[in-house]
Chains A and B, each alone.
Chain A
C-alpha cells in the first residue's frame, strides 16, 4: 500500500465516503493537532475540529492532491489560530508546553527516541526565533515543502530557505554531540 493511495482516498472523499475521509483524517490530523497545540494548546482540539469542518465546507471546489490538501488545511488552521487570538485580543505566542523536554547536554539516544512528540517539538523550536520556529514547525511537523511554507507565510522560497538554514545552524550548535557540556 502506497502513500499515493491517499490520493485515491481523496477522490472517494469527494463523494463523502467515510472510509476515505477516515484515511485522510488519520494521516493529517496528528500533524494539525501538534502544530495547533504548539500555538494554542488550550483550544487546539476545538480549532482543529473547526479546521476540518471549514475544509469540508469548501471541499466540493477543492481540486488539489493530498499534498495540497494538507497545505490548505494548515492555511485554514493558521487562520483559525489567528482568529482565536484576535477574538481574545491577545497576542499569539509560542508556548512552552513543558519544562520536561531534555536539554541537549542531558539527552542520550534513548532519551531522544523516547520523547513524546510534543516534547520533541518543544525541544526543537524553543530556542529558535519566532520566524525560524514557524518554518521548522511547518517543515517538520506539517511536512510541507519549502514552496508551500513560503506561500503560507507570505515569503519567498529563498527567504524560507535562509530561515530554515539559520534554524538548522542554531540547532546544530545546540545538539552537536559533545558540543554542550554540563
Chain B
C-alpha cells in the first residue's frame, strides 16, 4: 500500500479534517471546542505539551554558561572549550540526586529541606537551586535563615538591572516572560494558559508583588535587559550577526552592526544536523532512530 495514495482515504475516516488534525496535535484545540467525543483527547494532548521552563537550577546555569563559552570562543579553539565544558557538565549531571531531592522538596517534603535535615551535600545543592526560584532553605555552607520561605525576593530588582548575564534578575524576569509567552503561543484560552501559568510560580508571585493582576500585564512592563558585551575579541566575525530589526532595546554597544545572518537556511552542514545517519540493526523504526 502506498501511504501517500492512501492519505485522502485516511482523512475521510476521521471525524475531523486535516486542518483540525494539525491544530489538535499542536494543542490548539480548546477541549470545549473539540469535535464531539474528543474533548478528553484534546485535553490529553494539551497536558502532554511540556510547558516552558520556569527557570533556575544548576543545570540551566551550567548549560547556558557552557553554551555561551563555546559560542564566544573563536572557531579554532572551540574544540578544547567544548570538551572542557562537556566534562564539566557530565560532572554536574552526576549529582542528579540533587534534582531528585529538589523534587522531593517541591513535591511536599519541604519541611525536610526547610529544617535543614537533608544530607549536607544535597542540602547545599537544593538550597542553591531553590534560591533561583525564590525559595529559601538552609544552606549548610552559609548562615542563612533556617526557615523556608516563599517570596518574590528579586521582584523589586527585575526591571532595573543591567543585564549582568546569568545572574541579573532583570534578565531572569525577561527570560521567564519570554518563556511564558512562548508557552502561551497559539493558545487562545483556558486550559493551556492556566497550565502554563501554573508552571511559573515565581512569575506569578513577581506579578502579584508588583501589583499586576496577570502575568501578561506584568510581562508587558518588563523591558528587555541591556545585553552584556561579549568578551572583546571573542567574536570572530562568524558569530557576530548584529541586532535584529525591531529588537525592543536595541543592540549593546560594541555589537557588530551587520544585519542578521541571511535567510533561514536550516542546520549547518558542518554540524550534527540532518537526520541521524545510522540505525542500530533490528531497532524499532521511528523510535529514536532513523531509517
Residues of A that sit less than 8 Å from B by CB: 1-3, 5-9, 11-23, 25-27, 29-31, 33-34, 39-40, 45-46, 49-50, 52-65, 68, 71-72, 75-76, 78-79, 81-82, 85-86, 89-94, 104, 107, 109, 112-113, 115, 117, 120-121, 123-124, 129-136, 139-141, 143, 146, 151-154, 156, 158-159, 161-166, 168-169, 171-172, 175-179
Contact = CB atoms under 8 A, between A and B. Distances in A.
Interface in B1-47: 3-4, 6-7, 10-11, 13-15, 18, 21-22, 24-27, 37-41, 43-45, 47
Contacts of A50: 86, 89
A30 B44 CA distance: 17
A39 B286 CA distance: 11
25 contacts: A1-B220, A5-B178, A16-B72, A17-B165, A17-B252, A18-B64, A22-B64, A30-B52, A45-B99, A52-B66, A59-B70, A64-B266, A68-B267, A75-B276, A85-B280, A89-B280, A112-B44, A113-B195, A130-B287, A133-B287, A134-B287, A153-B291, A165-B11, A168-B21, A172-B14
Contacts of A139: 25-26
B63 A25 contact: yes
Given A1-B219, A93-B287, A177-B40, A19 B241 contact: no
B154 to A, nearest CB: 14
B189 interface: no
Interface centre among B22, B44, B60, B175 (most CB of A within 10 A): B44
Given A18-B68, A18-B165, A115-B47, A92 B278 contact: no
Nearest to B92: A49
A154 B290 CA distance: 7
Given A23-B179, A177-B38, 8 more contacts: A29-B53, A50-B86, A54-B271, A63-B261, A72-B271, A85-B283, A113-B43, A153-B290
Interface string B174-206: 111111111101000001000100000000000
Contacts of A140: 25-27, 45, 48-49
A33 B93 CA distance: 13
Contacts of A46: 90, 93
Contacts of B86: 50, 53
Main secondary structure, interface of B, reads loop
Contact of B286 (A60, A86, A134): A134
B272 interface: yes
B146 interface: no
Contact of A18 (B50, B171, B256): B171
A175 B41 CA distance: 6
A56 B71 contact: yes
Nearest to B216: A1
A78 B286 CA distance: 10
B276 A5 contact: no
B212 interface: no
